[in-house]
Structures are given as structure tokens and as C-alpha cells.
């Protein structure tokens, strides 16, 4: 299914990847990542200009990199070519020293492999692969291990596991994570479930592996750091990038009291732009805070005036607006 | 997004549809439908030859039609062109007097509209549109009403709502169904949730509309008929087509005692090929019962020997093997 | 723990029970039962006078009997002596030819046995035993089989299993029901879960046993009859007793079309007095329809004016008010 | 319902309580508490001798106090008089400088008030009141606020809210907690849900109140400390008391790296004695580690040999056996 041109590119990237890991270490993914939103015009076309503007502004923060085509990027609403074009544009405008982690998960193993290879071709440094989930009743450890092993075997770039039960109704079982952590091309995991006891258990049971865990939300970022996670993919970083990076710094330098104070003030705005109001809430907050948010693609609807007001309170009552 | 050639075809089909409904009645979808499986070769390619053979055999039963690209058809694992090609092939080989209902649901409204129009072009008589679900936290009544209204407005062929919470984690709220039942191009609903009280409530609250409800599984088919549903989309009909049609006949002719006896004997094999062992279980049973089942696409795995044995018992203990 | 006087009474009742079953058949529990509410005064004392008045009115319908101290009876809010006194009073005023089924479930096996024996002493004909549930994470088939077997071994009167997941978060697994159905002193089951496929499966897998299934709500009563259940314990029968009995009659005489019409008109009022507004809703409707409803014990709160209005619409829009 | 003797005692205790809070501060509940198990003989009688022996051993650790009749104490299996007698005995043998927090929750508000007063009489310093839950569909914020306000109004000793969704299927909504935190006799909350983002939000939104949060399990103890909780009620402290107290000390003195190391080693044994194997697992581990565990009351069953082995591995693989 993959033509010769693709595989040539893959080999090239593979060798680049290998040269980066001369000591046999896996890629280090520690740090903070905003999961970039996809801006749309009023006609629901991808607005690449606004995407670039947002990236320029986000590029000024000390992020480790950007997650492109994560759940926050409305990836299920984009065509395959849009998914690749967005990643390609981000690659062009983002700072060279940062990582581009692209979401490449699809339902079938084969499509995921193909999307993964394509993401590598258009410039992704790593892929983040959401669990297949439509047939979640059959997605047991054996099926998930088979899926991720195949993807990681064939991916020219490192693979990050991605578990987000609020969207998928499915968690990667801990035993499956432990098995997969031993794969040379699986470097870590983003866990968005919010169960920090589970995150800690994964840290504990993969402690002899070269495997890193990222929190999937700023809501439990401090707790995740305290338990051994190395960073986070945080929707809120799209609007409060400085603050999320400051929280990282406070945790990494052991200033836990100050970290706690800041963490608490981020809880409500974070819940507002994730669980409570979703991407429409995040985009509205972006509009307020100097970025381009704009509309979502249907069927996601904009906020009602009442919801918008509640969103504003979640920011203002914590001093962010 | 839709080119002029597409719309010409759409208009043509629309006028065909209109001529079919001279009395202003919506399409009648009452009856039994097997949700056709997609056969794959050992190399995971779609095996169109086996698809045609299965259809020839299924064509001998008094089904009302065929559902193609439902959940049982592994539609999330197919490319867009494979989805269309499968529907096109089924159209060619299936009996002319039966309905072809094609699954055209995608995550975005726009993609669903485009897939719907394409399905009409390749010969579908109606589409069955699964709820968008990745952002299920935001898929409230307003969002779903907006989505389905747009799709139905732009679809050249009738639309059937499709609610399957086991896969999507989401149900279309009853109030949304009631609103949507008034749309001239929304003819009915397939409900796979198994809550017959809900099915009855939908029947009751849409009783003044021209709107039909289909049970999404043979497990609650008798109960659904008893409460006013008009048919079913039944995975088990892929292997026990005669029996499912017989159950329909017994219900429609008021032979409820005989219907009960038959219904009870279908429960375990039905659970085995749906909830318990999924599509891998159904395809294995097809292999036993004269059809081509074959492998699923990854990440769906085949049955273990123990599961296969349990599947066999579920059929044999009820006299079907 | 049980004194000699108790056991004497138990033995006496056991022999009465045995004489009733000369042909070796278990007690026949087929029919409709209202789960009687417990009336309280404004001071939250049990109002035995109002209880008797309600019973006199309910006694005019062709019920098979009464369930006393079911979930609708607010049993968790009563002391042990109140539970027994209520049953004793009902025994005195209810028609002699009807069955008194008393809820005797407690969390521990020992307490359940003692309450069961006491219920027999004060006049219950059978007990309905809800699953223990506080430690539901450990209430697997083995634990539930152990519990019910012990209770049934020591109960002087027949035992009915009682599964109500909306309150307990727990279902008795089908395999446990099948095992328990073979116990000579376990006569049947009340299933309030509403999953009629499960009810049908239980009917099917206990078909060689002397075991009867009752629907736990009128919401799925017709469907349950159609699948082999023999009756129902229906909260709505406290206010629409004639209609629920009529639905039973229509089902038993094979008048399924008329049954369907009636069933559909009962859905909304039934949902209103169970899932939607709970016991406060039921008691409010009793106040409207000629019974004494009155307040619930705290922490159950009365309805808001808006809820009360919605409750009224659920009855009036179906022609019952 | 409460006789004059009771109220005399209540008044006396109230004045004792007041004298303890001369500065108008609520009781300080910060620290670690084992939720004490209830030992039973082979005949399922409470074994008060073994209870005292266990308490003597537990008394050597720097706990803040003991929780008696929590979920770990099998309180739903005890009679009211057993519940009080157990608390009374613990009061007699436990060190005078520690707090005795007694579980006094019942389903009805009235019963909870009476049990609370009785617990105060037999020597409890505070009560921990689990949410009523059988009618959880109606236990919204209004009902819970009404319930806890009434209990706190009438309790002679401070009240701790107790939310344990794994057992009750119910959480106290954050807005209800915030309202209740303002009550002068409600001093804090034990949250066993494990959602530390929720715990942090409660800390944040009650920051202007005199209100303390305790983690309900050692699984998220470090994270809870890091986010502003002040202690924990930890089942594991019944067997690894020194280690849980050491984890507290490391957190309180800011030794977060050492704390993390210890926290991670406690995860698996903790999960084993709570979620995975429940009280039977905890009691088995007590038997191994120098305490009296013994049997549970039915319907709780002992561990199978395979489960026992898995329990052992969860301890030994982390160096605790």
C-alpha cells in the first residue's frame, strides 16, 4: 500500500532518528505541549493563515513542542489530506528546536500505519496514537498490544500511546502499557483519564523501561509531576501558555507550595475549556486572550450566551481575565 | 464541495424519490435487514467475490433489504472508496425489489453529507446515519438535531437515525428523536441500545408522525414488535436468516406463543455474535453455516479456541448446529 | 441468634407451606403487585391509619398480592420494628386470598435471615430479598449464591430474588440466577433492571426449573409478558391499579394490539413515578388520585412546583388526569 | 425520639467541644487514620478481645486517630448496638491523645442523627457521615445539603462528610460541599473517589472556610497532600502503619522525591487491600503482618488460593513481605 517514494522518505527519517539516539536512548519527550486547535473560517474551511498566527504566538513560550491533530485539533472532522497539510504548515512555522508530535490514530491498524508514515513524511518528530475504539468491546489487552506493536514496528518515528476514555470509552489496560513500554519505538504515553493512581502505577511498573508518561490535562499536572510523570499535553496551554510553563518550572524546581497555589487557580479555567465546554469553550477563550479561536466544525456548536458567561467567570474569578 | 455532476445525480434521484412518494408518504422501511459483513482476504483486502457469494445466498430470504456499512460491516476500517465500492457491488447483485440501506455516518456534518450523497450515487435507497460521537460530551440534543437536519436537508434519499450506545457511548435523546421525526426526509430510526421502554416511548411520542422504528438486534426483536416497532436490523440474520424472518412472520401474524419459543432460542446465539464475541464471532459462525466469514481487519482479533468452543455451544445448545 | 419461640413458629409455618405444596410445586407468584408506599405524618411518623385506608382502596383491584417494604416502601428509612409493624398491619387489613410479599433484604446474610424469619412470623407469605450491595465490588456470583442459598435454607417461607441496579449498582448475574432457581425454596425473581433481553434469557435458561420471573416496573410489563414473565411489581399500580391489571389481562388473553395501546399510555406516568421523580413523585400522584401520599422521610425531598407541573403533564397528556 | 438522658449527655459534650475551640476554630483533623477493621470469631461474633489487641499494636504509630465503623469496618453488617459497642471499646483502649472518628451514617436523616448522638455518647470525638445512597437518583445537592445540615445542627460533635462512590454510586457535588463547608459544625471531608482534580477543586473553593480534606486511600495520598489535603484515612495503615505515617512525614517536610519513591511502592499493596480484594484481602494481609484479620461476615467471602497468592505478590514484589 505504501509506494517506494514513501518508503525512501521513511528510511531517510529513520536514519535521522537513529542518529539522534546514538546512545541507544529513546527520544526524550519531557515537557509541556499545547494540543493545537485547528482554526476554521466562517465557511468551515481550515484557516491556515490563522493557524500560522497562533503558532507564532505560541512559539514564544518554553514549550517542549506542539501536539497537532490531537483531540483538541478536531482531527475526526478533517480529511486525511487536511490532517497532513495542517501538520506540514505547523512544521514550517514552528521553532526548529521544538518537537512536533502528530496525532495519527485511525480505527484500523493499516490506516494508522499509513497515516503514521505520512505524518513522518510531512515533518512530524513523533506520533501520538489514540486507541482504536469503535469496537471497544473487543479492544482488550491482546488487541491493543497487537495494534500498537504493528504501528510501532512500521513507524519511522517514535510512537506515543494515547488513552482518553472521555472520548473513547476505553483505557489501555496497565498490563498492556507495561508490555508495550518495552518496544524500542514506543517512547511514552499520554494519559488523559485523570486517574493519577493509575498514572503512578504506570510510572512504577515501567520504571525499568525507557518510557515516559505525560499528563493529558493541566487539571492533574502537578499531581502527575509529583508522581513521576515528565510533562503534559494541556489544552489550557493554548490560552495560558506562560502559566502552564510556570507550573512546570515550579514542579521541576521543587517549589511545591507555589506550584500548588498556581495549580489551584488553573483548575476552573481548565475544566471550562475541556470537560465543561469542550473545544467551543477553548476557542472562545482564545478569542478573548489574543489568539484566533473562531468556530468549530459542525456538529460542534458554539456556546450559548449563558455558557459564555460561565466560561468568563471561570477565568475571571481566578484572576485570568 | 459537491461538484455539479454530483448534484445532477442528486436531483435525478430526488425526483425518483419524489415519484415514489406521490401520496406524500415517506418511504416504508418495515422489515428485516441483515447488516452485511465485509469479507476480507487473508491479506486484509476486501474480497468482493465472497461478498457477492454471500449476497446471493442471503438474497433467498424474505428480507426487506440489506444494511451495508453498518457497525457489523466494519465500516470504520474501510477507506471512503472501499465503502462506496462495497455498496456499489451489493447494489449490482442484490434482488431489485429489496432496499439497500447504506451506512453513511462520519464524525463531521460535512463529511456525512458528502458520504450520504455519494452513497445515493452508487445506488443506496436510504442511508442509516450513526451519531457522531468522538466529542460525545458535547453531542446534546441541539447538536444532534442540527447535524441530522443538515444531513436530511441535503440528502437525496431518505435518512434513518442510528443510535448504538455500546459503540458510541451516546444515545440520541428521545426529545431529539421526536423533533427529527417531523423532518420530511427522516423516515425512521434504528435503535441498538436494547432498552425497549425507550423504544416504546419513541413509538408513542412519534405516533402522529410518519416515522418507523427498527430494533437494532434480534435480542429484543419480539419485544420491539410487541411495542410498535416495524422490523429489525439483525446481525444474526447473516447466519440464521430463515429463523429471523420466521420470527418476524410470527409476530406480524399474532402467533405470540410460537414467537416467544423461537425468540428464546435465538437469544444465546445472538448475544454470541454481537456483545459477547463481536464480528469475529459472527464471521466464525458464518464459516460454519455456509457463508464466507473469514478474518476481520486488525485490530479486531480472531477468536481463541476456548471462545470458539463457547460460541459453538451457544448455537448447538439451542439446536442451530 | 434465633430463639426457640421463633423456631417453633418457623416450623409451624414451614408445615403450612408444605401442606400448600402437596404436589411438590413451588408457590405460584404470577400476577400484579403494587409495592405499597409507607405513609408518614407531617412529623415523619409512620401513619398506620392512612396505610390501612390505602390498603382498603387497593384491595378492590384484582392484584395477586402486595409487596410491602420494597424500594417504594422506603424500607431503608424504617427501623426493624417499623418494618415488621407495617407488614403486620397490612396482613390484618388486606384480603385473605392475596399474597403478602415482604422485603426482608439486609446487608449481612445473618441479618437477612433474621428479618426473613421475622417477616414470616408477622404474616408474610413470601419474602423478596434485595441483593446486598454496599460491597458490590465483591458481590460476584459465588458471594450471591452463598447469600441467597443460606437465606432460602433458613427461610420458613418462599424466597423471591430481587435485582434493582438503579438503586444497588449491581445485577445478579444470569449464571447465579440459574443456579439459585434450582433451590426448592427460591420461587422466582423480580427484575427491575429493564433489560428485557436479560429477562428473556433468564426465562429461557430456567425453563426446566419451577421458577417465575416478575417485571419490576410497568414500563416493560408487556414486553416481559411477551417473553415469558408471569407478572410484575409495579409502582404505578399504587395510582393506576385498574389500568395495570387491565394490561395484565390483555396480555394474558392475547389481545396484544389493545395491550400495546394501553402500555404506551402508561410509559410516561410510570417513568414519572419511578426514575424521573421517584417516591416523592409517586406520593404526589397518590394525593391527586384518591390515596394518601404525603411526605417522604428525609433526606428524600418533596417536588418543586416545576417538577410537580411536569408530573401532572405526564399523567394528563396520556389521559389519566 | 431522643430521651432526656441522651440530651443531657449531648449538652455536656457540646460544652466540652466548645471549650476546645476557644479561638472559634473548628476541630483540626489533619493526619493519618487507619479505618479499623471489625474482627470476628469463627462464629461471626464480634471478637472484642482481638479488636483490643489490634488497637494496642496500632496505637504505637503516630496516627492522628482512628476511624471506627468506616466502610472497612463492615459497618453495614453490624447491628446498631454492635456499632456502638465497638466504638466504646476502641475508646477505652486507644491512646487518650488521639481522635476517635466514628462512622454514623444511615439512610434516613433521623437515624443518622440518632446514631451520631449515640456515637458521641460512647466516646467519639467526631463523626464521619457517609452519603445516604439507596435513593441516589434523588440525592442531588439540595437533598444532601438538607441531610448534612440537619445532622450537623443536631450533632454534639464535629461532622466529617464522607464520599465513597465505589460503594455508594454517588458523589457529593462540589457545590454542595462548598455550601456545607460553611457550617460551624462541619469540619471537613473524606473523599475516597480518587479524583484528585476534584479534591483540589474542593480545597480551592473552600479556601476561605475552616474546612479540611482527607484522602480516602493511600493510593492518592501524596497527590492529595501536594494539592492541599491535610491527611488521609487509609485502609493500608492497618498493615503498613509505619510506612503510611512515613509518607505523611515526607510530604509534610517537603521531601517529595523520597515521598514519590515510597508512594509508588505502596500502590499495589493498597490496591490489593481495597479495590482488588476488598476487606477479605485486608484481613488476610493483617493475618500475615502481625494483626488479627480473621473472617468477614457473610456475604463477604474469603479469598481463593489464587487470589491469596496474587495478594502476596502485590506485597512481596514491593518489598513488604
Cα–Cα distance measured from residue C79 to residue C87, given in angstroms and rounded to the nearest whole number: 13
**Is residue D228 within 8 angstroms of chain A, CB to CB?**
yes
For residues D254 and B13, which has the higher predicted lDDT (pLDDT)?
D254
Q: Report which secondary-structure segment, H or E, holds D65.
A: strand D65-68
Give chain C's end-to-end CA distance (angstroms, integer): 51
Cis peptide preceding A299, ω within 30 of 0: yes
D137 touches chain C (CB under 8 A): yes
- Mean of pLDDT values over B195-213: 98
Residue D23 has pLDDT above 90, yes or no: no
Question: Average pLDDT of B19-29?
Answer: 72
Cα torsion at C122, C123, C125, C128 (round to 10°)?
Answer: -30
In a domain, B29, yes or no: yes
Query: Best interface-test mutation with C: which of B199, B204, B221, B259 has the largest number of C CBs within 10 A?
Result: B204
Residue by residue, DSSP assigns B131-145 as PP-TTGGG--HHHHH
Do the two chains C and A touch, given a threshold of 8 Å on CB pairs and at least 3 pairs?
no
Q: Give the SS3 label for residue B30.
A: coil
Instruction: Give a yes or no: residue B271 inside a domain.
Output: no
Residue D5 pLDDT > 90, yes or no? no
Does A53 reside within a domain? yes
Q: Is D267 on the interface with A (CB under 8 A)?
A: yes
Listed by number, the residues of chain A in 17-76 with a beta carbon closer than 8 Å to a beta carbon of chain B are 44, 71, 76
pLDDT at D122: 98
Q: Is the pLDDT of residue D13 over 50?
A: no
Question: For residue C18, what pLDDT is reported?
Answer: 41
Check residue C23 and give its pLDDT: 56
Q: Average of pLDDT values for A180-199?
A: 98
Report residue B23's pLDDT band, with 50, 70 and 90 as the boundaries: low
CA distance B197 to C264: 9
Strand partners for B191: B163, B215
C-alpha cell at D159: 461532622
pTM here? Answer: 0.94
Residues of chain C with pLDDT under 50: 1-4, 6-22
CATH number of residue C149's parent domain:
3.20.20.70
- Average pLDDT over chain B reads 94
Contacts of C104 (CB under 8 A, 6+ apart): C69, C112, C115, C116, C118, C119, C124, C127, C128, C129
A-B contacts (CB, under 8 Å):
100
Instruction: Name A112's Cβ contacts closer than 8 Å, sequence gap at least 6.
Output: A104, A105, A106, A129, A132, A147, A151
Read off the pLDDT of residues A244-267 as tens digits, 9 standing for 90 and up.
Answer: 999 999 999 999 999 999 999 999
pLDDT at A24 (0 to 100):
75
Neighboring chain D residues of A215 at a CB cutoff of 8 Å: none
Which of C110, C166, C297 faces D44 most closely, judged by CB atoms?
A: C110
Measured between CB atoms, which of A109, A137, A275 is closest to B298?
Answer: A109
3-state secondary structure of B179: helix
Look at strands C212-215 and C231-233 and give their pairing. parallel
Chains A and D touch each other (3 or more Cβ pairs < 8 A): yes
Contacting residues of B for C197, CB less than 8 Å apart: 194, 217, 219-220, 223, 267, 271
Cross-chain residue pair C226–B264, CB shorter than 8 Å:
no
Side-chain half-sphere of C20: how many Cα atoms within 13 Å?
A: 14
When pLDDT is averaged across residues A86-113 and rounded to a whole number, the result is 98
C-alpha cell at B302: 480472531
Range of the domain at B92: 4-264
Report whether the peptide linkage leading into residue D299 is cis, meaning its omega lies within 30 degrees of zero: yes
List, by residue number, the catalytic residues of B.
Answer: 162, 190
For B81-100, what is each residue's pLDDT tens digit? 999 999 999 999 999 999 99
Q: Does some domain include residue B308?
A: no
Q: How confident is the model at residue D24 (pLDDT cuts 50, 70, 90)?
A: confident
D120-164 per-position pLDDT tens digit:
999 999 999 999 999 999 999 999 999 999 999 999 999 999 999
Which pLDDT score, from 0 to 100, does residue B284 have?
Answer: 98
Residue D301 lies in a domain: no
Asked whether C51 and C90 are in contact (CB, 8 A), the reply is: yes
CB contact under 8 A, C139 and D107: no
Indicate the residue of C108, C146, C275 with minimum beta-carbon distance to D137. C275
Three-state secondary structure call for residue B213: strand
Q: Environment class of residue C113 by beta-carbon count within 10 Å: exposed (0-12), middle (13-18) or buried (19+)?
A: buried
When CB atoms are compared, the residue of B201, B256, B267 closest to C200 is: B267
Does some domain include residue D148?
yes
**What is the per-residue pLDDT across A230-239, written as a single tens digit (0 to 9) for each?**
999 999 999 9
Number of domains in chain B: 1
CB contact under 8 A, A195 and D197: no
Contacts of D263 in chain A (CB under 8 A): 200, 227
Domain-located, residue B139 = yes
**Interchain CB distance below 8 Å, B278 and A135:** yes
Other CB atoms within 10 Å distance of the CB of residue D218: 29
* pLDDT tens digits along D41-84: 999 999 999 999 999 999 999 999 999 999 999 999 999 999 99
Q: pLDDT tens digit string along D159-192?
A: 999 999 999 999 999 999 999 999 999 999 999 9
Q: Is the CB of residue B63 less than 8 Å from the CB of residue B98?
A: yes
Which residues lie across from D32 on neighbouring strands?
Answer: D232
Contact list, C136 vs chain D (CB under 8 Å): 167
C279 touches C74 (CB < 8 A): yes
Region A182-192: what's the mean pLDDT? Answer: 98
DSSP codes, A116-157: HHHHHHTT-SEEEEEPP-TTGGG--HHHHHHHHHHHHHH-SS
Task: Assess contact for C203 and B264: CB atoms under 8 A.
Answer: yes
Distance CA A194, CA C185 (A): 48
Answer whether B268 touches C (CB < 8 Å): yes
pLDDT tens for A193-232 read 999 999 999 999 999 999 999 999 999 999 999 999 999 9
Please check whether residue A282 is in contact with residue A235, taking contact to mean a CB–CB distance below 8 angstroms. Answer: yes
Helix (H) or strand (E) holding D198: helix D196-205
Q: What is the pLDDT of residues D248-300, one digit of tens each?
A: 999 999 999 999 999 999 999 999 999 999 999 999 999 999 999 999 999 99
B254 to chain C, any CB pair closer than 8 A? The answer is yes
D72 appears as a binding residue in the annotation: yes
Continuous segment of H or E residues that includes residue B245: helix B241-252
Nearest chain C alpha carbon to B194: C195
Structural contact between residues B194 and C197, judged by C-beta atoms closer than 8 angstroms? yes
**Would you say D65 and D87 are in contact if contact means Cβ atoms under 8 Å apart?**
no
Collapsing DSSP states into helix, strand and coil, what is residue C70? coil
Position B194 pLDDT exceeds 50: yes
**A40: DSSP letter:** B
Please list every residue in chain A whose beta carbon sits closer than 8 Å to the beta carbon of residue B44.
110
Residue D273 included in any domain: no
* CA–CA separation, D169 and C134 (whole Å): 10
Cβ–Cβ contact B220 with C under 8 A: yes
Amino acid at each position: 500500500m505504501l509506494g517506494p517514494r514513501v518508503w525512501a522518505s521513511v528510511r531517510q527519517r529513520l536514519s535521522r532518528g537513529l542518529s539522534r539516539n546514538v546512545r541507544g536512548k529513546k527520544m526524550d519527550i519531557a515537557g509541556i505541549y499545547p494540543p493545537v486547535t485547528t482554526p476554521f473560517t466562517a465557511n468551515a474551511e481550515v484557516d491556515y493563515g490563522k493557524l500560522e498566527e497562533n503558532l507564532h504566538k505560541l512559539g514564544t513560550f518554553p514549550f517542549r513542542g506542539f501536539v497537532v491533530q490531537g483531540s483538541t485539533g478536531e482531527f475526526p472532522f478533517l480529511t486525511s489530506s487536511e490532517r497532513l497539510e495542517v501538520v506540514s504548515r505547523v512544521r514550517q512555522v514552528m521553532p526548529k528546536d521544538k518537537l512536533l508530535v502528530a496525532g495519527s490514530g485511525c480505527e484500523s491498524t493499516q490506516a494508522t500505519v499509513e497515516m503514521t508514515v505520512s505524518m513522518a513524511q510531512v515533518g512530524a518528530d513523533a506520533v501520538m496514537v489514540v486507541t482504536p475504539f469503535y469496537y471497544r468491546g473487543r479492544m482488550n489487552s491482546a488487541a491493543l498490544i497487537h495494534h500498537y506493536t504493528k504501528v510501532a514496528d512500521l513507524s519511522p518515528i517514535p510512537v506515543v500511546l494515547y488513552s482518553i476514555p472521555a472520548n473513547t470509552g476505553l483505557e489501555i489496560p496497565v498490563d498492556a502499557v507495561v508490555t508495550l513500554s518495552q518496544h524500542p519505538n514506543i517512547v511514552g504515553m499520554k494519559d488523559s483519564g485523570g486517574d493519577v493512581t493509575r498514572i503512578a502505577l504506570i510510572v512504577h511498573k515501567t520504571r525499568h523501561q525507557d518510557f515516559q508518561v505525560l499528563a493529558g490535562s493541566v487539571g492533574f499536572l502537578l499531581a502527575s509531576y509529583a508522581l513521576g510523570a515528565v510533562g503534559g499535553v494541556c489544552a489550557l496551554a493554548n490560552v495560558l501558555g506562560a502559566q502552564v510553563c510556570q507550573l512546570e518550572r515550579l514542579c521541576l524546581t521543587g517549589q511545591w507550595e507555589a506550584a500548588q497555589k498556581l495549580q489551584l487557580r488553573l483548575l476552573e479555567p481548565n475544566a471550562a475549556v475541556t470537560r465543561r465546554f469542550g473545544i467551543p469553550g477553548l476557542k472562545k477563550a482564545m478569542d478573548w486572550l489574543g489568539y484566533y479561536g473562531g468556530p468549530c466544525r459542525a456538529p460542534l456548536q458554539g456556546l450559548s450566551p449563558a455558557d459564555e458567561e460561565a466560561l468568563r467567570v471561570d477565568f475571571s474569578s481566578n484572576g485570568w481575565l
